[in-house]
Amino acid sequence: MTAHKYQRSAFVCAVAMLTAAGASACSGSTQGGASGGAPAGGAATLTIQGDAGNPALVENFNPLQPSSALHGVNLIYESMEIVSPIDGTFTPFLATGNKFTDPKTLVFTIRQGAKWSDGKPFTPSDVVFTFNLLKKFPGLDGNGVWQHLSAISTTGNDVTFTFNAPNVPFASTIAQIPIVPEHLWTSVADPVKFTNTKPIGTGPFTLGTFAPTQYALTKNTSYWQADKIVPAKVLFPAQASNQSTNQLDVSSGKFDWAYNFLPDVKTTYVARDPKHNIYWFPPGGTIGLYLNLTKAPYSDANFRKGISLSLNRTTIADKAVNGYLGQASMSGLILPNLQKWLDPTLANQGQVAQSASAATTAFAKAGYTLQGGKLIGKDGKQASMSIVMPNNFSDWVAAATEVTNELKKVGMNVSTDLPQFAQYSQQIQSGTFNAAMGGFGGTGTPYTDFNNALNSSFAAPTGKLTANNFQRFKSPAVDQSLAALASATDESAQKQATTQLEQAMYNQTPIVLLYYGGSWGLFSTKSFTGWPSATDPYTLPTNYNNSLLTVLTHLKKS
Amino acid sequence: MTYLTRKVVLFVITLWAAITLNFALPRLMPGSPVDAALAKLASSGQSVTNAQRHAIEVQLGVPNTGLLSQYGSYLKNIATLDFGTSYSFPSETVAQTIGKALPWTLVLVGTSTVLAFVIGTLLGVYAGWRRGRSADSVVTLGSTLFAAFPPFWLGLLLLYVLAFNWNLFPIKGGYVPGATPNLSLAFFGDAVSHSVLPGLTLVITTLSGWVFGMRNNMINTLGEDYVTFAEANGLRTRTVALRYAARNAILPNVTAFGLSLGAIIGGSVLVEGVFSYPGLGNLLYVAVTNHDFPLMQALFLVITLSMLVAIFVVDLLYVRLDPRIRQ
């Protein structure tokens, strides 16, 4: 500490005397200074901005309950394989690989030599046990695995999954179910409510210490690829409930890996330690304007195209995500992540540019013309729209405000509606909205993205809840393409079906896709390198799901 | 009826009214905890079925008995401090969750309230005594300025300057992450350094109320004959100011102080939120944002009760301070 800094502390101590702290605040302030600085402990300890746990973390390491389990559970348990959320590439973990013997039969070959952290060997029967557990307790089957599976069996090192119907893309869901040890979980009476405070997994880490403000994982030296794991310890300090406080915490350089939106990241993060602080904000999903297709004039594809052509998506992205990410491709694919599936015949990679004349033409086809500054339909009424979104999703609100302004310029009467999240979700699920902001895609698998958004089986009648296809899109041709993609095992057939879906998205505009939502990865190379980046995009920088495990197997000592 | 019995009877009646209101309010609100839980489920992308609704009703113990028997068991639960299990912290009872947060708030907000009261009252005496002069202007203007800061904003400002830029204090929490609360000196020092900024925020923003109350009472009292008489008798200025004027002027401030002690338990939702302090205010914020009805109900009950007790105690104190009340 320099002399100059001492003066400041002395001043603060004098102030502190007046407050609750009293005399001992002065000794405390030194401690505060230390903990506010860089991560201590050298290269062996990795500090990750942890779970939102305020005022206290709830101890839960049940890997089959991802919504209530703490993030660290992803380093304790493993699944058969991990599928990249960027481009859908499979990386083997507890399995060495998988193949479809026919579009309804999927075989995983299970890895030999892996061990549970209590020393017992991991076997194919653990896999079978886990999937049967999901069947017995539907409360654990959040992915609806058993809506698609009819049977599971094992022969030697192979585990065979039989599907009800051809569903090749569903392999990624099966592959990523965390596997739990049969010898311990067989005696758990209610695995749904089980908090598993002494987790035994096959993963690279075991639970070290747990406190309501922070937990620590220590390296599992008997891990089957222990040589790939560099950190000896991983710390997960809890986040604050206040976003501004969290941003200061991240900026102060406390973490090796944080996940946080920061405005002006070059100043607020990189410049704080230009030698070590890096960031990567890849697209992790698409944000779009959902129009209720059961209502006129939104039921008319020409009208939807008119809206799409009236928007300046670059400005929208600038307003919503500080320009960190750009406008979305109307192909429905997240680019550049899914570049290899992109239909080359789509103009400008499927990006729709603002064009007043093209919009006028499209609106005219739908029967709407500009009269006295207002877009008037055949019924003589002005086209109007109310866009609903949750009031606390600030980037959606910013985007919708810009959309509102731009659509007003083409003569529409547009307003926004900002209720609580619960009310928003009620409206979009029951189909009572007329326009809404919403997320699309982001699974890394084109089939899953398109199927959730466009499959007519999700298009429930208005008033009935649906979890997908909120806009209620129905098209037999699209359903056929989806079915074709589901049963395609070779890449050319997959490409053909994906291209059809992209064209449906582009030409019929079931959702007006606007911009890419970001994945806010902030890293420090002070102790570790090998973070995912634009040049090595092996996974998204999300530090709350199984990307944790992928990243930990890539980290090197710096 | 004597003053005391009257007060006790009044206390019991208000207590009953508050407890009953706390029972009635959540039941008068539109929607139910089950709806809230279902909405949460639906928002995670699952479809909601009747079976799920029933399962949640069973989980939450939503009764299908009459209101009167619900009321009976509610009273019984309060008497035994059984508030059920919160949704946000399912591994412990509501009483345990509150018990853990209570000491933090008591110490932080309690100490800050006492300090703000003492400092504010002394400044008020000083400003009142030197009314109209520059010292008065400095004190009144200064405290008005600080009172105009919204507490959470001042909190963020202090956080940014003292904790972030100068690294003098930790950014958040009640103690260093990972520590287990205990009575050791090291932990105490750590906890103190974590409480400086939230404490400072609370003191600064609540100071002005005390300053103004005391200053204005002082000015009134200074106009009284007995003060002039004391001055005319040639008593020392200090003695007149403190023993004659201030002692009489402080009565309304004592009442207000009692009330603010009652409000301590409620904590300071915004300030505790900014600093992620592990106290009741922060807990209340979490409970409200998570629609955590059991936790909310218990917290509101605790807040109401402590307020009532504080008012009761102030009433009793008045008997000592002002003999005229006793009849």
Higher-pLDDT residue of A234, A15: A234
Q: Supply the pLDDT for residue B33.
A: 61
Tell me which chain A residue has its CA closest to the CA of residue B155: A245
Say if residue A12's pLDDT is above 60.
no
Closest CB to A21: pick one of B39, B166, B195.
B195
Query: In chain A, what residues touch B40 (CB-CB under 8 Å)?
Result: 422
Q: How far apart are CA A308 and CA A288, in angstroms?
A: 10
CB-nearest to B171 from A36, A422, A426 is: A36
Q: A17, A197, A242: which to substitute to probe chain B, counting the most B Cβ within 10 Å?
A: A242
B37 CB near a chain A CB, below 8 Å?
no
Set of chain B residues whose Cβ sits within 8 Å of the Cβ of A234: none
Confidence of residue A38 (pLDDT cuts 50, 70, 90): very low
Instruction: Report residue A19 CA to chain centroid gap.
Output: 44
pLDDT band at A142 (very low <50, low <70, confident <90, very high): confident
Q: Report the residue of chain A nearest B106, measured CA to CA.
A: A20
> Over 80: is that where the pLDDT of A334 sits?
yes
Asked whether the beta carbons of A469 and A330 are under 8 A apart, the reply is no
Contact (Cβ atoms closer than 8 angstroms) between residue B266 and residue B113:
no
CA-nearest of B32, B55, B202, B195 to B114 is: B202
pLDDT at A1: 32
Q: What integer pLDDT is reported at residue A42 of this predicted model?
A: 42
**How far A212 CA sits from the closest chain B CA (Å)?**
7
Local confidence band at B268 (pLDDT 50, 70, 90 cut-offs) = confident
Q: Would residue A367 be called left, alpha or beta, if left means φ above 0 and alpha means ψ between -120 and 50 degrees?
A: left
Q: What phi, psi does A154 have (nearest 5°)?
A: -135, 140
Are the CB atoms for A473 and A510 separated by under 8 Å?
yes
Cβ separation B159–A248 shorter than 8 A: yes
Count of C-beta atoms within a 10 Å radius of residue A507: 12
Contact B91 A59 (CB under 8 A): yes
Task: Please answer yes or no on whether B278 and A55 come within 8 Å at the CB atom.
Answer: yes
Beta pairing, strands A283-291 & A556-557: unpaired
Residue contact B178–A237, C-beta within 8 A: yes
Q: Which CA distances in Å does A525 have to A123, A231, A255?
A: 38, 13, 10
Distance CA A467, CA A75 (A): 30
| For range B186-203, the mean pLDDT | 90
Q: What is the pLDDT of residues A379-419, one digit of tens each?
A: 999 999 999 998 878 889 999 999 999 999 999 999 999 98
- How are beta strands A105-110 and A158-163 bridged, if at all? antiparallel
- Among B48, B100, B276, select the one facing A240 at the smallest CB separation: B276
Q: Do A429 and B42 touch (CB under 8 A)?
A: yes
Question: Could you tell me if B108 lies within 8 Å of chain A, comparing CB atoms?
Answer: yes
Bridge partners (DSSP) of residue B116 are none
Q: Indicate the range of A73-77, A255-259, A341-345, B305-309 predicted with least confidence.
A: B305-309
How far is the first Cα of chain B from the last one, in angstroms, to the nearest whole number? Answer: 9
Residue of B nearest to A194 (CA): B91
Nearest CA-CA distance, residue A60 and chain B, Å? 9
Residue A172's pLDDT band (cuts 50, 70, 90)? very high
Taking CB atoms and an 8 Å cutoff, what residues of chain A touch B88? Answer: 58
Q: Under 8 Å CB-to-CB from A154, ≥6 apart: which residues?
A: A124, A125, A127, A128, A160
pLDDT of residue B75: 85
Query: Which of B43, B112, B170 faces A425 most closely, judged by CB atoms?
Result: B43
User: Nearest Cα to B136, choosing from B54, B52, B222, B58?
Assistant: B222
Choose among A29, A238, A249: nearest Cβ to B171. A249
| B47 pLDDT above the threshold of 90 | no
Average pLDDT over residues A34-49: 60
CA distance B271 to chain A (A): 10
Instruction: Tell me which chain A residue has its CA closest to the CA of residue B46.
Output: A467
Of B42, B159, B192, the CB nearest to A425: B42
Query: Among residues A138, A145, A148, A139, which one has the least CA distance to residue A80?
Result: A145
Distance from CA of A59 to the nearest CA of B (A): 8
Nearest-Cα distance to chain A for B112, in Å, is 6
Residues in chain A: 558
The residue in chain B having the minimum alpha-carbon distance to the alpha carbon of residue A242 is B274
Is B173 in contact with A244 (Cβ distance < 8 A)? no
Q: Which among B40, B47, B46 is positioned nearest to B88, based on CA atoms?
A: B40
B199 CB within 8 Å of a chain A CB: yes
Window 265-294 of B, Cβ < 8 Å to A:
273-279, 282-283, 285-286
Once rounded to an integer, what is the mean pLDDT over residues A517-546? 94
**Pairwise pLDDT comparison (B185 vs A362), residue with the higher score:** A362
Nearest by CB to residue A33, choosing from B167, B179, B180, is: B167
What is the ipTM, given to two decimal places? 0.77
By Cβ distance, the residue of B193, B273, B278 closest to A31 is B193
Of A35, A56, A209, which has the smallest distance from its Cβ to B176's Cβ?
A35
Note the pLDDT tens digit of each residue in B133-148: 888 899 888 888 888 8
Contacts of A54 in chain B (CB under 8 A): 276, 282, 286
Question: In this complex, do B39 and A426 lie within 8 Å of one another by their Cβ atoms?
Answer: yes
What's chain B's Rg over C-alpha atoms? Answer: 24
Q: What mean pLDDT do residues B9-13 have?
A: 90
Chain A contact for B162 (CB, 8 A cutoff): yes
Shortest Cα distance, chain A CAs vs residue B196, angstroms: 5
d(C-alpha A23, C-alpha A464), whole Å: 63
In terms of C-beta distances under 8 Å and separation of at least 24 residues, what long-range contacts does B231-236 make, across chains too? none
- Of residues A3 and A554, the one with the higher pLDDT is A554
pLDDT band at B50 (very low <50, low <70, confident <90, very high): low
A-chain residue closest to B88, CA distance: A58
